[in-house]
């Protein structure tokens, strides 16, 4: 394993760069309707920004920002959002994942309600993919101990 050292140039560049990467990830998720992208790609970009933080700083600092419990909860939260929207459609009298029934609870017509439903599930997919990528990286790089990784 590489010896641990702190490089002030890398850490400063990462600190400046990270908000822009995360803003771009959120943009990709939110504009999945109008431009290429969507939940999966945006979630991967958000996860990659956190992996950059793990590489530039160390895993302890990264886990101080986002604990393992929170990360695992995010893994499930995205799926709960996705299937929850489907179950809401079921409760409102349509088929599972038939978003046009959402116009009973949203102030839009049935056609725009399908667009809103797509946005909702893409946010869910984005949260799950982000958390899964972070969890996979942390487990792979430290062989499951979460002590030290690529620094």
Q: Which residues would be at the binding site for another protein (CB under 8 A)?
A: 1-2, 28, 32-41, 44-45, 47-48, 51, 72, 75-76, 78-79, 82-83, 86, 97, 99, 111-112, 114-115, 117-118, 121-122, 124-125, 128-129, 131-133, 135-137, 139-141, 143-147, 149-150
Asked if 124 and 78 touch (Cβ cutoff 8 Å), the reply is yes
Q: Which is nearer to another protein, 38 or 62 (CB)?
A: 38
Asked if 85 and 97 touch (Cβ cutoff 8 Å), the reply is yes
- Output the smallest distance, CB 15 to another protein, in A: 19
- Output the smallest distance, CB 9 to another protein, in A: 20
Q: Of 44, 31, 71, which is closest to residue 126 (Cα–Cα)?
A: 44
Asked if 34 and 116 touch (Cβ cutoff 8 Å), the reply is no
d(CA 57, CA 128): 24
- Output the smallest distance, CB 22 to another protein, in A: 14
- Output the smallest distance, CB 12 to another protein, in A: 21
d(CA 77, CA 92): 22
Q: Which is nearer to another protein, 13 or 111 (CB)?
A: 111
- Output the smallest distance, CB 5 to another protein, in A: 16
CA distances to 11, 30, 39, 56, 145 from 89, rounded to whole Å, are 46, 22, 20, 44, 42
Tokens 């956190």 belong to residue:
50
């Amino acid at each position: 394993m590489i010896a641990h050292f702190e490089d002030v140039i890398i850490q400063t560049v990462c600190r400046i760069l990270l908000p822009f990467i995360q803003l771009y990830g959120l943009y990709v998720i939110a504009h999945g309707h109008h431009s290429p992208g969507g939940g999966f790609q945006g979630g991967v970009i958000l996860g990659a920004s956190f992996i950059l933080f793990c590489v530039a700083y160390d895993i302890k600092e990264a886990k101080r920002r986002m604990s393992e419990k929170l990360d695992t909860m995010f893994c499930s939260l995205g799926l709960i959002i996705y299937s929850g929207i489907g179950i809401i459609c079921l409760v409102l009298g349509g088929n599972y994942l038939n978003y046009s029934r959402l116009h009973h609870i949203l102030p839009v017509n049935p056609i725009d309600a399908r667009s809103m439903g797509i946005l909702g599930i893409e946010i869910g997919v984005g949260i799950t993919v982000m958390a899964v990528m972070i969890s996979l990286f942390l487990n792979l790089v430290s062989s499951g101990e979460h002590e030290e990784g690529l620094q």
